[in-house]
Structures are given as C-alpha cells and as structure tokens.
C-alpha cells in the first residue's frame, strides 16, 4: 500500500517542480510565515499582514494550501462564522525552506526585520526547534 498520495498531473516528476507547483507564487509562503512566526490563524489576521494581500487572493491561497495538506481549517468554536487555520505537520516541515529564503535575502538584499534575521543567523536550529515546540503544544491542546 502506498502511503503518499499520487501526484496531480505534474509537469515533471522532479521534487523541486512539485514544490514550485505548490508554493511558487508571491503569497503562499508569506501566509505560512504569518502562521509560523506570528501565530496568526484567522482570515482577518492574514489580511492585515504587512504586505496587504487582496481578499480574493488570500481566499484562493488558503484554499490551495488546504488542498495540498499544508494547512487545515476548522470552525471557530467561539464564532461559527469564522474559520481557524492551522499548519499541518507537512506545513511545519517547511520551516527550513522559509529559513533559507530569509537568510539568502538578508545576505544579498537591503531588507528590514533585522532582529529576526540576526536571530536566525545565530540560532537557526534553536529558533526552528522553538517554533516546532509551540506548534506541538498547540496540537496537544487542540486534541485534548
């Protein structure tokens, strides 16, 4: 029995191509950053993030990320009209990708958020482990 889902007709079998077909746009990784580092979980929180994503694009990206199994959604128990979004294990596994993209841009471009960059440079592994722990404890409380 095969554990992994058969790929949707992809342009090639290369794993890098699979990644860019899922994540190769200007928004998906920013939404994942907001979940990973800022703990955002609602549509409104993503909408008011620094890059000012448009509502239709945000709705589309959330739908796509969920269809790929990178995030999950559930109704907010406190307000049935709201959805709460969370990273899946597959989504959390994207931490090294995000980290390397941050470090690359910080090395080669004039960017802000230097405190995050310094943190990542000096304590990359620790930072990743910490985000992982926060996620695990959240999973625990969701399932309890």
Residues that bind a second copy (CB under 8 A): 2, 4-7, 11-27, 29-30, 33, 50-52, 69, 90, 93-94, 96-113, 116-117
Q: Which is nearer to a second copy, 100 or 130 (CB)?
A: 100
Q: Which is nearer to a second copy, 112 or 140 (CB)?
A: 112
CB of 79 to a second copy, least distance (A): 29
CB of 120 to a second copy, least distance (A): 9
Q: What's the chain look like in SS3?
A: CCCCCCCCCCCCCCHHHHHHHHHCCCCHHHHHHHHHHHCCCCHHHHHCCCCCCCHHHHHHHHHHHHHCCCEEEEEECCEEEEEEEEECHHHHCCHHHHHHHHHHHHHHCCCCCHHHHHHHHHHHHHHHHHHHHHHHHHHHHHHC
CB of 46 to a second copy, least distance (A): 13
């Amino acid at each position: 029995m095969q554990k992994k889902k058969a790929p949707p007709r992809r342009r090639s079998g290369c794993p890098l191509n699979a990644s860019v077909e899922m994540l190769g746009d200007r928004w998906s990784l920013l939404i994942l950053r907001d979940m990973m580092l800022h703990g955002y979980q609602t549509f409104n929180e993503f909408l008011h993030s620094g890059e000012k994503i448009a509502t239709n694009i945000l709705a589309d990206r959330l739908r796509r990320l969920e269809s790929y199994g990178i995030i999950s959604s559930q109704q907010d128990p406190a307000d049935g009209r709201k959805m709460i979004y969370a990273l899946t294990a597959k989504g959390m596994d994207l931490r090294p990708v995000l980290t390397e993209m941050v470090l690359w841009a910080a090395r080669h471009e004039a960017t802000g958020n230097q405190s995050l960059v310094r943190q990542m440079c000096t304590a990359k592994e620790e930072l990743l482990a910490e985000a992982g722990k926060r996620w695990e404890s959240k999973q625990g409380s969701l399932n309890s």
